[in-house]
Amino acid sequence: TPPIMPMAIRFDHEQLTLAPAGPTLTRRMSDLEGLFRDEAARAAAAAGENPVVYTVTSSPVPEANRELPQSITTIMPGTTSGEFWMTKGHQHPDHQGEIYLAITGRGGILMFDGEQTSWLEMLPGTIGYIPPGWAHRSVNTGTEPYAFLAVYPGGAGHDYDWVVEHGMGKRAFRGPDGSALLRPFAE
């Protein structure tokens, strides 16, 4: 493959798209098996309308060592038995850091290092820093789509099994007043 040349990537605030764009992925309820507290409710939703929970649109910058790829993630608003819709969440195998910039809607980053849990509220303009070694999951805590830009080392990778094995410490539910209520992961 030819070397990547300097490039300007246009971000469309309304459409939440990148141009030029790289790969896009769409995650539906059927892709999120075992991740919500209420697996039966998740499975029922997957067997029914199977809604799109989130999309990830990448720039053409490849996920390769020394590159610095970026993507826009858009999480739809919703809850499954009270638990806010969210990304799968992952750990970076070599513990690289990552930054997120909230663009629209409201959300949060749930992080877990195997011992401690951290929760960052994300409003448009908030830069969330994910330090080395913290698994990260994004959550839409609002009533509109929540979109953010992610910038991460090209060799960071995605270890999804780590989250299945260790959990995320906590879960984000919709509280009585509509705001996020963090509860113990297994409760």
Backbone angles phi, psi at 161, to 5 degrees: -65, -30
Nearer to Zn ion, 83 or 98 (CB): 98
Nearer to Zn ion, 82 or 157 (CB): 157
Chain residues 100-139 in contact with ligand M6P, contact rule CB under 6 A: none
> Considering the rule CB under 6 A, would residue 73 count as an interface residue with ligand M6P?
yes
Tell me if 176 sits within 8 A of 122, measured CB to CB: no
Q: Which does 151 bind (CB under 5 to 8 A by kind): ligand M6P, Zn ion, none?
A: none
> Considering the rule CB under 6 A, would residue 87 count as an interface residue with ligand M6P?
yes
User: Pattern 94-113, binding to Zn ion, x per CB under 5 A?
Assistant: ----x---------------
Nearer to Zn ion, 45 or 150 (CB): 150
Distance, in Å, from the CA atom of 146 to the CA atom of 106, rounded to the nearest integer, reads 6
Residue 167: DSSP 8-state: -
- The CA-atom distances, in angstroms, between 23 and each of 9, 28, 38, 62, 166 are 14, 17, 31, 10, 29
